[in-house]
Amino acid sequence: MSFERDVELLTTGAALCEPTPASRLELMGPDRERFFGGMVTAAIEGLEPGTGRFGFITDVRGRILASAAVLTLEDRLWLEIPKGRGRTIIEHLEKYIVTDQVEILPLGDMASLRITGRRSAEILTDLGASAALDLTEPWSHTQVELLDYQARLVREGHSPVPAFSLWQSSAIAPLMADDLAEAGLRRVGREAAEALRIEHGHPLWGVDYDEANLPQETGIEDAVDYEKGCYLGQEIVARIHYRGQPARRMCRLVFEPGHSPSAGAEIEFDGRTAGAVTSISPSPRDDAAIGLALLPRRAVEALPDARLQLDGRNVSFEPLSPGT
């Protein structure tokens, strides 16, 4: 299928998409919620089974070690974090276990399938997973049977169109994907989903930001709960929120028609290097390329008249804000 047809399918129907690469962890033990609640920016203590949150695992300086989707089950927590961060995060968390009754394990045998699109809940219902209609809150989840497979169905957050993940054994997931395709669910390339992600303004850890960044620089405002109890790095994160502004802001870029630089290309503002393109894609709406970049506060404060320069051409931009 073409890029344009893939975008149309995601915005008007539903399709089987390649999920963002991820690692998964499991926390068990009676102190799991209290312990992990002290390590993450989201409020996870007291969540009901079948609910979840998105937050950042931060260090003592408030820097983001990983993003984390947290799913609450009856007797454990499941975490989805960026691919390749499992060992680092386990070692980080284990340093802070003193008398806590908590065990942290990799979920190495877990994979996911991603079904995305305006009609994704309807399509899942037609295939036997009627619970999809009840999963209306981001990161809500339940166990379902779909095409004779058992899987954990998760309503994803931060998606420009409704999106669901099916968490399944890594050995079974490819078979399940083939059967979903045979049942009529069409596959789309990752390029279309990536274009919608960038247009929607959802940056990814390891692509658009990393351990050098603070939560406020990402533009993902709902990842931090400023009313929750203490967590590692909270003092610095709270100080920036209440007393100041981050030095950099995640911004959405719009390039001139015919101008499509590569990720990593340096951006200039006011004659000086201001940052680099972190994500780039064709626009799902027109012939201009779009992207994301972390830019200094001085550039953002110069809006609406400010323009960036890349390859001698103008680049329009706007900061990500709550709700984007």
Alpha-carbon gap, residue 167 to 88, rounded angstroms: 22
Alpha-carbon gap, residue 80 to 147, rounded angstroms: 25
Per residue of the chain (324 residues), what is the pLDDT tens digit? 689 999 999 999 999 998 999 999 999 999 999 999 999 999 999 999 999 999 999 999 999 999 999 999 999 999 999 999 999 999 999 999 999 999 999 998 999 999 999 999 999 999 999 999 999 999 999 999 999 999 999 999 999 999 999 999 999 999 999 999 999 999 998 999 999 999 999 999 999 999 999 999 999 989 999 999 899 999 999 999 888 789 999 999 999 999 999 999 999 999 999 999 999 999 998 889 999 999 999 999 999 888 899 999 999 999 997 433
Residue ranges, comma separated, of all CATH 2.40.30.110 domains in the chain are 247-324
Strand partners, 171: none
Provide the residue type at 92 as one letter: H
Structure confidence at residue 287 (pLDDT): 87
Residue ranges, comma separated, of all CATH 3.30.1360.120 domains in the chain are 1-243
Structure confidence at residue 244 (pLDDT): 74
- DSSP letter assigned to residue 294: E
Structure confidence at residue 323 (pLDDT): 37
Structure confidence at residue 189 (pLDDT): 87
* Distant-in-sequence, close-in-space partners of 132: CB < 8 Å, separation ≥ 6: 120, 121, 124, 125, 144, 153, 155, 164
Alpha-carbon gap, residue 296 to 294, rounded angstroms: 7
Alpha-carbon gap, residue 133 to 287, rounded angstroms: 35
Taking the CA atoms of residue 213, residue 217, residue 218 and residue 221 in that order, the dihedral angle to the nearest 10 degrees is 130
Alpha-carbon gap, residue 302 to 284, rounded angstroms: 28
Question: Which of the four CATH numbers 2.60.40.10, 1.10.540.10, 2.40.30.110, 2.60.40.150 does domain 247-324 have?
Answer: 2.40.30.110
| φ, ψ for residue 83, nearest 5 deg | -55, 135
Q: Which of 291, 268, 316 is nearest to 208 (CA)?
A: 291
Alpha-carbon gap, residue 159 to 150, rounded angstroms: 24
- Going 11 to 15 to 20 to 22, the CA torsion angle's sign is positive
Q: How far is CA 27 from CA 23, 30, 38, 47, 181, in A?
A: 14, 10, 14, 15, 33
Alpha-helix runs per DSSP H in the chain: 3-12, 32-37, 86-94, 120-126, 173-182, 190-200, 215-218, 234-243, 297-301
Structure confidence at residue 242 (pLDDT): 87
Alpha-carbon gap, residue 208 to 67, rounded angstroms: 12
Q: Report the SS3 class of residue 83.
A: coil
Q: Which of 196, 243, 227, 248 is nearest to 64 (CA)?
A: 248
Question: Which of the four CATH numbers 3.40.718.10, 3.30.565.10, 3.30.1360.200, 3.30.1360.120 does domain 1-243 have?
Answer: 3.30.1360.120
The token pair that represents 214 in the structure block:
């603070």
Alpha-carbon gap, residue 267 to 314, rounded angstroms: 10
> What count of residues does the chain have?
324
Q: Which of 140, 174, 168 is nearest to 154 (CA)?
A: 140
